[in-house]
Structure 1
Amino acid sequence: MDPQKNKNVSIIGVPMDLGADRRGVDMGPSALRCACLQEKLEGLGFVVHDQGDLRIERPKNPFGSEGNLKYLNEIIRANAELCGKVESEMKQGRFPLVIGGDHSIAIGTIKGVLKQVERLGVIWFDAHADANTAETSPSGNIHGMSLAVSLGFGHPDLVSIGGEHAAIRPGNVAIIGVRTIDPGEKKFLKEQGVHVFTMKDIDSMGMKRVVEQAIGIASDGTDGIHLSLDMDGMDPSEAPGVGTPVLGGLSYRESHLAMEMIGESRLLVSAELVEVNPILDHCNRTAKTAVSLVGSLFGESIL
């Protein structure tokens, strides 16, 4: 992001836990605000417009008439509302920073950005690929389907949010930090040509080279880059307050280097920060780490 072009940031909270079907991540927006997210951005010279939180209802029955997709109707409704909110903020010349909440909210964020940015590249930090569909998902949790939906695959009512043709191109997507992928996802990612940088790639290539390549992939012929930052991409020793931790993740410095490089590219047009679960955290450590990563993304430096 280029601060000289846009000093206005809109924070949009989405206290959603339905996509993960595990309580606690709905408190993520509050935890991030308590960790001084707004103060961090204002200290870097940004004008912050906190739009508060979207209203999320929790149905008693997770399953409707749509097979194994949990809380489908409410997730559709919430993401459609988020899509409209992101579009509205961008129309006002504001950078949308969406804070969650589970990773199902990426559907609404990306669909909203696509209303304003016709060709969008995506860098997706995550321990998981989130590329399941109803046919491949072992759990029915929609937070594990958000990337597939954003690519145009999945339940038609999810895919059609923001318009049937609102989808990102697989060749402009780079996933970083993956270390667990379901069998159906492996097949899907290979068929679609999504670029996946596993922890093995980071170990062998180094984070600098991985992020350079990811920026090149996401910016190739696009009008900007969206960052989707799932805190479980980091190692649980660094970010314990997440719902689905996986050992062997990104270190604190690797994560900061990545944010610094993406910010310095001046190609970022939107971002979301998801899966902070304060119930599983220690003294709000994960939210504080997340806010420090936002600082690096928005230009904070040592000198």
Structure 2
Amino acid sequence: MDINVIGVPIFYGSDIKGVDLGPRKLREKNVLNILGKYHKIYDLGDLFVPSVKENHKFSFHPKMKYLKPIVEVNTNLAHQVYTSLNSGSFPLVLGGDHSLGLGSISGVSKYYKNFAVIWVDAHGDINSHITTETGNVHGMPLASAMGVGYEDLTDLYFHGTKVKMENVFIIGARDLDKGESDLILTNHLNVYSTQNVKEAGMKKVITNIIKTLKERNISTVHLSFDIDCIDSNFVPGTGTPVKEGMTVGEAKTLLKCIAESKLVKSMDFVELNPVLDKDDITSDLCIDLLDWTFKYLK
């Protein structure tokens, strides 16, 4: 398989500096050579991220930080993902914060008309400019992709909804804002909390999701993996760590089962912050998880 590695060194969505160094850190840890054991790797480099001064973060919208550069970067990412898929390659997007998920999904949506998103995250990322409690756009990409929120985000790359709500599966959520919980209840979104995972077992959760996708004749999945899905004890190097998360073993079970399904055609791997890390614990775990995933990816 041909893998196109796309770095997105952006922190504007989280407003926590250091996460923009994630792609560089992973390359320094030899991620390209490691993944090259299993696939042909093409490093497309990092997307350009325009510089914006901190005191201008609300210059583009009163309730969303750094909106303009986030839209610009995500639009370029969407096209990069689309062209990768169009060439028969697998786009692997290395972040950077999770605001980039909107660009990835938008690119996938232009190429595949019927696909699903498996969003693995401690957070729902389904806020809007109306419900946000922080103004951080990395809490909005999935809602925007489902057509909920500000039009600059919902209409990114092309006009209209990018993925149907019923084809979105959120796994590992355990830190939801009120607006997110309301959206989940109103629209009956598919959300598997960490507690659900621990009660049912990760393998059963993934097996049921894959069964549902096949029943709907969906043969394409975009996997968006935020390392904060894992318990904060194991991932000190991330901007919004949350306790009582997945174990490393549960995360590996998830990644293996999804990879072996042969449905995954694109992937995000986000929110590594080397500045917050301790003795490279998180960076080394990220390399281990990527190695593990792409070993099983067919």
TM-score by length of 1: 0.94
Return the letter of the residue paired with 2:125.
Answer: D
SS at match of 2:267: strand
**Pairing 1:271–2:267 present:** yes
Return the letter of the residue paired with 2:25.
Answer: A
Contact 1:173 1:217 in 2 (8 A): no
**Pairing 1:30–2:24 present:** yes
Q: 2:7 aligned to 13, 16, 27, which one?
A: 13
The structural deviation recorded for 1:70 is: 0.5
Contact 1:172 1:217 in 2 (8 A): no
Contact 1:218 1:225 in 2 (8 A): no
- How far apart, CA to CA, are the structure 2 residues paired with 1:65 and 1:279? 28
Q: 1:245 aligned to 241, 245, 251, which one?
A: 241
The structural deviation recorded for 1:300 is: 4.8
- How far apart, CA to CA, are the structure 2 residues paired with 1:213 and 1:153? 26
Contact 2:101 2:268 in 1 (8 A): yes
User: In the alignment, what sits opposite 1:49?
Assistant: 42
The structural deviation recorded for 1:88 is: 1.1
SS at match of 2:295: coil
The structural deviation recorded for 1:240 is: 1.3
RMSD value, Cα:
1.4
Q: 1:224 aligned to 220, 228, 241, which one?
A: 220
- How far apart, CA to CA, are the structure 2 residues paired with 1:222 and 1:67? 39
Return the letter of the residue paired with 1:96.
Answer: P
Q: 2:153 aligned to 155, 158, 161, which one?
A: 158
SS at match of 1:43: coil
- How far apart, CA to CA, are the structure 1 residues paired with 2:165 and 2:29? 34
- How far apart, CA to CA, are the structure 2 residues paired with 1:252 and 1:131? 25
SS at match of 1:228: strand
The structural deviation recorded for 1:243 is: 0.1
Contact 2:80 2:107 in 1 (8 A): yes
- How far apart, CA to CA, are the structure 1 residues paired with 2:255 and 2:116? 16
**Pairing 1:95–2:90 present:** yes
Contact 1:118 1:223 in 2 (8 A): no
Mean CA deviation greater in 263-272 or 31-40:
31-40
User: In the alignment, what sits opposite 1:4?
Assistant: none
SS at match of 2:179: helix
Return the letter of the residue paired with 2:44.
Answer: Q
- Counting only pairs closer than 5 Å after superposition, residues 65-104 of structure 1 correspond to structure 2 as 65-104=60-99
- How far apart, CA to CA, are the structure 1 residues paired with 2:213 and 2:21? 31
User: In the alignment, what sits opposite 2:187?
Assistant: 192
User: In the alignment, what sits opposite 1:107?
Assistant: 102
- How far apart, CA to CA, are the structure 2 residues paired with 1:62 and 1:121? 33
Contact 2:121 2:225 in 1 (8 A): yes
- Counting only pairs closer than 5 Å after superposition, residues 98-177 of structure 1 correspond to structure 2 as 98-177=93-172
- For residues 22-49 of structure 1, what are the alpha-carbon distances to aligned partners after superposition, in whole Å with 9 as ceiling and x for unaligned? 10000010111122211121112x1100
The structural deviation recorded for 1:283 is: 2.6
TM-score by length of 2: 0.95
- How far apart, CA to CA, are the structure 1 residues paired with 2:130 and 2:136? 12
Return the letter of the residue paired with 2:171.
Answer: I
The structural deviation recorded for 1:65 is: 4.3
Label 1:212 to 1:21 Cα distance change in 2 as closer, same or farther (>3 A). same
Return the letter of the residue paired with 1:29.
Answer: P
Return the letter of the residue paired with 1:36.
Answer: N
Contact 1:123 1:218 in 2 (8 A): no
Q: 1:58 aligned to 51, 62, 70, which one?
A: 51
- How far apart, CA to CA, are the structure 2 residues paired with 1:84 and 1:259? 26
SS at match of 1:57: coil
Contact 2:13 2:136 in 1 (8 A): yes
SS at match of 1:278: coil
Contact 2:93 2:269 in 1 (8 A): yes
User: In the alignment, what sits opposite 1:212?
Assistant: 207
User: In the alignment, what sits opposite 1:234?
Assistant: 230
Contact 1:263 1:296 in 2 (8 A): no
User: In the alignment, what sits opposite 1:3?
Assistant: none
**Pairing 1:298–2:298 present:** no
SS at match of 1:298: helix
Q: 2:254 aligned to 228, 251, 258, which one?
A: 258
Indicate the percent of aligned positions where both proteins have the same amino acid: 36
Contact 1:234 1:252 in 2 (8 A): yes
Which consecutive residues of structure 1, in runs of 5 or more, have no partner in the other structure? 1-6
